């Protein structure tokens, strides 16, 4: 929103939207709304600022109780004189517990919207500085406070999320990484043996390689919730959002979900397995996916892809280009109706999308082709793995060793993630074959979106 006229029109349209949407949707958009106001306040015209103040008055008049309930999770208007009356109310409603305020701030840093994350990190930086004595004490105790682990985990996740692979402006990524570094520096060095900042693993293990309908459906819902919805919410390119919209629409059809689940959403108890699956999605996922249950997006352009020469990986190809080329080729090698339809949907969102989608799909594609493919296809995968493990500098061509090193590093990370995934499936499969009650164990291993 660099153009002042466009910016004013966008904020006025946003104010109109906030005045007509349902109370439930207003609550979901409060954090983003306030973050946008804070981010662009100094660049808004006086007239637009007055419109924003009027909008806030209406929100407080019509949704006071809802705002009170989530006040602790909303950004602060401190330092904006025209919004001081609202900040005074927030101050009364927010918790005075330092630990809880820290946890709420850190949680906001995991939001899918880059503006929300930026504003949250700015607040977190100030909060950590103001409460440095408490932070040092909490991190240095014999039994460190769990909230310190959570803060470190959120900050590290933000560093990874907004790295050089993401499709966000370079200056924005650099600013977020700098803020994360400042926050981590304020917390200081911690004993990693006593502070657990490891991210819990939530991989979905496809035990039946798309041959079991219920498991395949649960996997589709898992993919929607943990990857597609997040990529859609964080996308800043309308072209990318359009393709993601089509993918979510088609994936919902693949999971046999339609707008019937919205009509029955309030029924107690749920009347079908389809309804149970929908109800067990997170509120964020349901609110994002609901319009696509009955949407009619169409994609007319076909994915153009020729047969590559293996190995695809080389010292002159970028990490993203390597993933795109390999995944698109692997998508042409899947077998079985369920798998073919699933990866046909995915193939339309490989180019020009968040690289996290590629990293999510790669282990499942490799495993599927290894299990269901031909000897030639397995040999091609082997060549690709060897090329990543033993990269060769380009003969007779100038190259930047730092770029080559970085490309090899991120490619190796993806490679070992795939190997870990395959090894996990091997161990789980062995475990199942040795269990007397394999069905019970299987439900524990896989993410089950159906009701128990």
SS (H, E, C) the chain: CCCHHHHHHHHHHHHHHHHHCCHHHHHHHHHHHHHHHHHHHHHCCHHHHHHHHHHHHHHHHHCHHHHHHHHHHCCCCCCCHHHHHHHHHHHHHCCCCHHHHHHHHHHHCCCCCHHHHHHHHHHHHHHHHHCHHHHHHHHHCCCCCHHHHHHHHHHHHHHHHCCCCCCCCHHHHHHHHHHHHHHHHHHCCCCCCCCCCCCCCCCCCCCCCCCCHHHHHHHHHHHHHHHHHHHHHHCCCHHHHHHHHHHHHHHHHHCCCCCHHHHCCCCCCCCCHHHHHHHCCCHHHHHHHHHHHCCCCCCCCCCCCCCCCCCCCCCCCCHHHHHHHHHHHHHCCCCCHHHHHHHHHHHCCCCCCCHHHHHHHHHHHHHHHHHHCCHHHHHHHHHHHHHHHCCCCCCCCCCCHHHHHHHHHHHHHHHHHHHHHHHHHHHHHHHHHCCCCHHHHHHHHCCCCCCC
pLDDT of residue 447: 44
pLDDT of residue 400: 66
Give tens-digit pLDDT for 122-169: 999 999 999 988 888 887 766 667 888 889 888 988 888 887 555 555
Q: Is 339's pLDDT higher than 70? A: yes
Q: Is 452's pLDDT higher than 80? A: no
Give tens-digit pLDDT for 109-123: 988 888 999 999 999
Give tens-digit pLDDT for 404-446: 777 788 888 888 889 898 888 888 877 777 765 545 444 444 4
Mean pLDDT of the chain: 84
Give tens-digit pLDDT for 355-391: 889 999 999 999 999 999 999 999 999 999 999 888 8
Give tens-digit pLDDT for 72-109: 899 999 999 999 999 999 989 988 889 999 999 999 99
Q: Is the pTM of this model over 0.75?
A: no
* pLDDT band per the 50, 70, 90 thresholds, residue 276: confident
Q: Is 213's pLDDT higher than 70? A: yes
Domain positions in the chain: 1-94, 97-197, 213-445
Give tens-digit pLDDT for 180-197: 999 999 888 776 665 555
Could you tell me what percent of the chain has a pLDDT over 70?
85
């Amino acid at each position: 929103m660099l153009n002042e006229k466009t910016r004013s029109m966008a904020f006025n349209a946003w104010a109109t939207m906030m005045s007509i949407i349902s109370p439930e949707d207003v609550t979901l958009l409060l954090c983003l709304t306030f973050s946008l106001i804070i981010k662009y306040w100094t660049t808004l015209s006086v007239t637009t600022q007055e419109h924003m103040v009027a909008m806030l008055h209406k929100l407080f008049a019509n949704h006071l109780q809802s705002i009170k309930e989530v006040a602790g999770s909303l950004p602060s208007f401190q330092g904006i004189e025209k919004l001081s009356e609202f900040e005074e109310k927030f101050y009364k409603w927010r918790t005075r517990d330092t630990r809880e305020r820290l946890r709420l701030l850190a949680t906001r840093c995991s939001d899918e919207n880059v503006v929300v994350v930026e504003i949250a990190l700015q607040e977190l930086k100030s909060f950590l500085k103001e409460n440095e004595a408490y932070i040092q004490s909490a991190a240095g105790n014999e039994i460190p406070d769990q909230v310190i682990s959570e803060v470190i985990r959120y900050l590290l996740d933000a560093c990874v999320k907004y790295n050089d692979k993401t499709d966000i402006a370079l200056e924005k990524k650099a600013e977020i990484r700098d803020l994360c570094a400042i926050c981590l520096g304020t917390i200081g060095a911690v004993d990693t043996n006593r502070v657990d900042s490891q991210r819990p693993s939530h991989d979905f293990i496809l035990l039946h390689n798309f041959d079991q309908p219920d498991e395949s459906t649960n996997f589709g819902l898992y993919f929607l919730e943990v990857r597609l919805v997040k990529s859609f919410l964080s996308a800043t390119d309308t072209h990318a959002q359009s393709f993601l919209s089509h993918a979510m629409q088609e994936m919902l059809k693949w999971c046999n979900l339609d707008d019937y689940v919205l009509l029955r959403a309030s029924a107690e108890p749920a009347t079908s397995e389809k309804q149970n699956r929908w109800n067990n999605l997170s509120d964020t996922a349901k609110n994002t996916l609901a319009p696509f249950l009955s949407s009619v997006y169409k994609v007319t352009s076909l994915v153009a892809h020729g047969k590559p020469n293996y190995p695809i990986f080389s010292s002159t190809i970028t990490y993203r280009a390597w993933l795109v080329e390999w995944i698109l080729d692997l998508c042409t090698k899947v077998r079985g109706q369920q798998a073919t339809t699933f990866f046909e949907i995915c193939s339309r969102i490989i180019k020009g999308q968040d690289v996290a989608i590629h990293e999510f799909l790669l282990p499942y594609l490799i495993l599927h082709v290894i299990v269901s493919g031909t000897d030639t296809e397995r040999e091609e995968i082997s060549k690709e793995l060897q090329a990543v493990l033993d990269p060769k500098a380009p003969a007779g061509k100038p190259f930047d060793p730092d770029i080559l090193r970085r490309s090899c590093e991120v490619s190796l990370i993806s490679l070992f993630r795939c190997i870990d995934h395959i090894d996990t499936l091997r161990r789980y499969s062995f475990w199942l074959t040795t269990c007397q009650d394999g069905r019970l164990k299987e439900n524990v291993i896989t993410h089950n979106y159906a009701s128990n």
